[in-house]
Amino acid sequence: KILDTVYRAFEQIDVDHDQILTREELDHFSKNVSEKEERSALVWLLSNYRLLEHANLSEGTRITDRAAAGLSRKDLLEAGCVFRGLKHVQENFELVSEISPDGELQVTAASIHRYLEKKKERLSLRERVSLKHLAHYIARITRRDLEHDGLNFDALVHLGPEDIWGETD
């Protein structure tokens, strides 16, 4: 809900109209907001700004690739989806998780995909989309971490993006 509030006010916050929200723009805008809900959303975003900026939630836009560092509309949209997916996983952890090789419960892109297949009729469109975004993000993180360690993601994981995304709703 917090990110939705900021997303709706994007045009007002982005004073230079470069489609990127900087910390300075958010800070300036937050000082002039009187509505309590909007102000608390901006305060939350400012306190988590660096984390969101470097999370690379929207695929294909690394911070070093941008002319200016900041958060795009797509970053906010993706963050909202991933956070909603995380909330759903937290509330349904036993149903979404699987047992890892070391005996611990874990949530993976594959376990989310299996959960979606089992529960798709009971989940709202928003829940399905959020869980798909979360699964995609987990798969990207896993790929990046494995490749950083010199391992071949595709040889270790037999779940491709088409398995995660499936058909579009």
- Residues 95-120 have pLDDT tens digits of 998 888 878 888 888 899 999 999 98
CB 13 within 8 A of CB 29: yes
Residue 129 sits in the same domain as residue 101? yes
Domain coverage including residue 98: 92-165
Q: How many domains does the chain have?
A: 2
Which 3-state string (H, E, C) describes 33-81? CCCHHHHHHHHHHHHCHHHHHHCCCCCCCCHHHCCCCCEEHHHHHHHHH
pLDDT band per the 50, 70, 90 thresholds, residue 53: confident
Q: How many residues does the chain have?
A: 169
**Residue 20 φ then ψ, to 5°:** -130, 130
In sequence order, the 6+-apart residues with CB closer than 8 A to the CB of 157 are 110, 139, 142, 143
Do 67 and 132 reside in the same domain of the chain?
no
As a dihedral over the C-alpha atoms of residue 71, residue 13, residue 2, residue 81, rounded to 10 degrees, the angle is -40
> pLDDT by residue (tens digit) across 123-140?
999 999 999 989 888 888
Half-sphere exposure in the Cβ direction for 102 (13 Å, CA)? 2
Give the mean model confidence (pLDDT) for residues 32-36: 86
Residues 22 and 66 in one domain: yes
**Which of 40, 72, 104 is where one domain is finished?**
72
- Report the alpha-carbon distance of residue 43 to residue 101 in Å, rounded: 41
Residues 66 and 124 placed together within one structural domain of the fold: no
Residue 77 domain-assigned? no
Closest CA to 7 of 19, 16, 86, 125: 19
The answer on pLDDT for 58 being more than 70 is no
Q: Is the pTM of this model over 0.85?
A: no
